[in-house]
Amino acid sequence: MHWVADAGYFLAMVTEGQVHVLNEGQSVVLECSFHADGYSLFSYPVLWRKQQLDEDVQMNIMGNINEPFAATNRFEVAFTSLAPRYKFELSVGGLFIHRFTLQRVKRFSRFCSL
């Protein structure tokens, strides 16, 4: 658990690092859980970011998925508020590849930030 206290404000990240090993076509739900005093999603939006090689891309703005991710219809975000506990999820739907398409597997990571 990581926590920050600044001028009377408390924030504790509850989610620990995770490793997901998936086969092609499988789906996964990534979770970002935290505790906070007086948290406002509008003032402090939770962002999902994708990092791959030298690329660092913001995947969402609040509950909206950004392009090019939105065009794939594979990503959804959900926010659950049970103050002082909060959960922000990124659902990644399975990728179904056309039988004549070849695709290289690349290592990348996704993480949430406040």
Q: Is the peptide bond between 68 and the residue preceding it cis, with omega within 30 degrees of 0?
A: yes
pLDDT attached to residue 3? 42
DSSP-assigned letters across all residues of 76-109 = EEEEEEETTEEEEEEEEPPP---TT--------E
The per-residue pLDDT for range 48-72, each reduced to its tens digit, is 888 888 888 999 988 899 999 999 9
The span from the first CA to the last CA of the chain, in angstroms, equals 15
The phi and psi torsions of 96 (rounded to 5 degrees) equal: -105, 120
What is the set of domains in the chain, with CATH numbers? 2-113 (2.60.40.10)
CA distance 31 to 85: 13
pTM of the model: 0.73
Low-confidence ranges of the chain (pLDDT < 70): 1-9, 95-114
pLDDT attached to residue 8? 57
pLDDT attached to residue 59? 92
